[in-house]
Structure 1
Amino acid sequence: MNDMTPIAKTSPKDWESDQEVRWCPGCGDYAVLKAVQRTMPELGVKPENTVFVSGIGCSSRFPYYMETYGFHTIHGRAPAVATGVKLANPELDVWIITGDGDALSIGGNHTMHLLRRNLDCQVLLFNNEIYGLTKGQYSPTSRVGTRSPSTPFGSVDRPASPCAFALGSGARFVARGIDVHKNLPAVLKAAHAHKGAAFVEIFQNCIVYNDDVFAPFTEKANAATGQLWLEDGKPMLFDKDMKGLALDMETLSLKVIDVADGDWQAAGVIVHNVRNRAVAHMLVEMPFGPFPMALGVLYDDPRPTFDSAVVEQNRAAAQGKAADLQKLVAKGQTWQVEKQPHVI
């Protein structure tokens, strides 16, 4: 890709493939797809330089619906394929589409290594807290007590937190969004602007097998008290700025406080700093109910990427050397197989 080549302006239609979009009516995947297609023209990127890679699951049909290059790979291995794509051509804009089952069960190991290596890509994890494609079994993020075909008496597993997993794996960008929320495009833009592995958990409603599981904070009537949209350099306020988060110095944990007369500073509300990893851990582990759901960019602190390090290493290794395939093949122990007489 020539950086000097002007990028022609695109529209959402330019990012829509000719394939019929097929998810269950009312699935949150439709909203995420539209949000991505609306966002891509604003990123200043080209469809022909963009690749969507998915694993297995409902969300993994995503590459079919984007007018870009794409791979629909195997269960949990999207990070491995995406790594190969990025190393083969570092100029490509690589997106990984995955689900809570795909990324955190059989794909947990691959997801962890992608994040710790810090490959320059965007990871969109659709979290509906259930296995949808295989007909409603409980997933790694399903809550205790979830009744499903595989847990008829209720799950006794403690659920995994995708964002806590990402931070623990060394991710340098962690964010959350909601499938139908107007702020999702802003989260996607922030993820794309980050140089490195950008991990975005998207709460996505499964209307068939886990309908309204997120309603306590996604429904319009619950949004004010249930959602805390974070913005770097801004106080952590919610419930129409009547409540906020403060740091309890005795327990070194977060607490909810009331804000009187809009004076958040006097109340002790803390200001969000996307580079504060310790507070990011607190935010992702806040129990919903006593606390709101932390949304937006929770952590953003770039460091050198895996792919840039590999490119530089290869450049240094090749410096002053001429490519000679024959010499490489003949290097070391070699032998020649002579033609053997035909034996009957």
Structure 2
Amino acid sequence: MNAPVKIETTLKDWESDQEVRWCPGCGDYAILKAVQRTLPQLGCDPANTVFVSGIGCSSRFPYYIESYGFHTIHGRAPAFATGIKLANPDLDVWLVTGDGDGLSIGGNHMMHVLRRNVNMQIMLFNNEIYGLTKGQASPTSRIGTPSPSTPGGSIDRPAQPCAFALGSGARFVARGFDVSKKLPEVLSAAHAHKGAAFIEIFQNCIVYNKDVFHDFAAPKGAEDNQLWLENGQPMLFAKGEKGITLDRDLLELRVVDVVDGDWEAAGVIVHNVTNRSIAHMLVELPFGEYPMALGVLYDDPRPSFEETTVAENERLSQGKKPDLGALLAKGQTWTVDGTAQDPV
């Protein structure tokens, strides 16, 4: 496995010749631009980059990036991406999926790519609805969501993508939203992580679930409801006037007021990206009572799956010569005698 060679590119170098076709006002446009702005900053090479997607509105992504791409089948993008990474570990692999594609039919595959820790960036666009198939409730739809499949309002308890990722053993978990100026920072942090980096991106479906994230993800006016996390920095929000503390008796997070900027006196805790327990608490915070936790919630690398696989193959092949015939003949074999007659 070789370290990637950084090259100089511009946003234009990452724009394909395909017409970008999503609904006018769709949050996917903003995410696409954020990715295309981030890739040059990372020094990525289009000839060494692969975007893999499943089925859904988000899965049109590979057509619009000037790189290699695979538009695969529903929910199976993680399996394809794993195969690509094992076949050529030096490739820079990005997986694009949605809340339906990645957590419904693809939930099983998503779980395994995370627990195996395959080195890739996984962007899950969460709009809490099935957009491509005309607005049915998805695994992340909130209780009470009306849709063609839930005309009386959804009664299902929604899945939480980041909680799912942590529970599946992910070593990097982050959140952002489509129009955020900080989304490139989150993508850059994910790319720097060696292993499976999971990013939930809240995405506005302008047609079937318009402004469902408006309280914390509006382009303007929602800043007080955003808790942007930064490693080694206190968990402050609302212009520093509020913060998050840990109630050590009840083992739960609480909102506290910060007076005169003295966050230490208020008991505000400092974010530590390697603290898995706090990460679990942050993704479970009920929005409304708490701000939405955004940025890198958890980042604690371990050896990646393909790195371990390559090392194991090298160890097992030491001192051995490739011999296909010997491999095929290994173990129990038998010879069919053509002169033998069937019993009467």
Q: TM exceeds 0.5?
A: yes
Paired residue for 1:118?
A: 117
Q: Identity rate of aligned residues, in percent?
A: 72
Structure 1 residue 222 displacement after superposition: 4.0
Q: Output one character per residue of 1:181-226: Cα deviation in whole Å (capped at 9) or x when no partner.
A: 1000000000000000000000000000000000011125542321
The answer to whether 1:131 aligns with 2:130 is yes
CA 1:274/1:337 → structure 2, altered by over 3 Å: closer, same or farther?
A: farther
Structure 1: runs of 5 or more not aligned:
339-344
**Aligned equivalents of 1:271, 1:250: Cα separation in 2:** 18
Task: Name the SS of the counterpart of 1:105 in structure 2.
Answer: helix
Aligned equivalent of 1:185: 184
2: CA distance, partners of 1:221 / 1:26: 16
**Aligned-partner residue type, residue 91 of structure 2:** L
Q: Which amino acid aligns with 2:161?
A: P
| Residue range with higher mean Cα deviation, 327-336 or 201-210 | 327-336
Q: Mind listing any 5+ residue stretches in structure 2 that lack a counterpart?
A: 339-344
Matches within 5 A, 1:232-311: 232-311=231-310
Is the aligned partner of 1:83 residue 2:82?
yes
Question: Over residues 50-75 of structure 1, what are the superposed CA-to-partner deviations in whole Å (9 max), with x where a residue is unaligned?
Answer: 11110000000001111111111111
Q: How many residues align?
A: 338
What is the aligned partner in structure 2 of residue 213 from structure 1?
Answer: 212
Measure how far apart 1:239 and its partner are: 0.4
Q: Find the counterpart in structure 2 of residue 342 from structure 1.
A: none
The 5-angstrom pairing of residues 16-165 of structure 1 reads 16-165=15-164
Alignment of 1:170 with 2:169, yes or no, is yes
Q: Is the 8 A contact 2:245 2:254 kept in 1?
A: yes
Verify the 8 A CA contact 2:214 2:222 in the aligned structure 1.
Answer: no
2:337 and 2:70 map into 1 onto residues whose CA distance is: 41
Q: Distance in 2 between matches of 1:109 and 1:55?
A: 14
Note the C-alpha offset of 1:45.
Answer: 1.9
- Give, in angstroms, the shift of residue 82 of structure 1: 0.5
Residues 312 and 52 of structure 1, relative CA distance in 2, 3 Å threshold: same
SS of the residue 2:293 aligns to:
strand
Deviation at 1:335, TM superposition (A): 4.4
1:181/1:129 Cα in 2 relative to 1: closer, same or farther (>3 Å)? same
Aligned-pair Cα RMSD in Å = 1.6
**Structure 1 Cα separation of the partners of residues 275 and 2 of structure 2:** 36
Q: 1:209 to 1:337 in 2, by over 3 A?
A: farther
Q: CA deviation at 1:327?
A: 2.8
Task: Tell me the TM-score normalized by structure 2.
Answer: 0.95
Q: Is 2:329 aligned against 1:321?
A: no
Give the Cα separation in 2 of the matches to 1:207 and 1:251. 40
Q: In the alignment, residue 277 of structure 2 is paired with which amino acid?
A: A
Deviation, structure 1 residue 323 = 1.4
Deviation at 1:337, TM superposition (A): 9.2
- C-alpha distance in structure 2 between counterparts of 1:6 and 1:83, whole Å: 22
TM-score calculated relative to the size of structure 1: 0.95
One-letter amino acid of the structure 2 residue matched with residue 289 of structure 1: G
Hey, what's the Cα distance between the residues in 1 that align with 2:43 and 2:154?
45
- Matched to 1:148, the amino acid is S
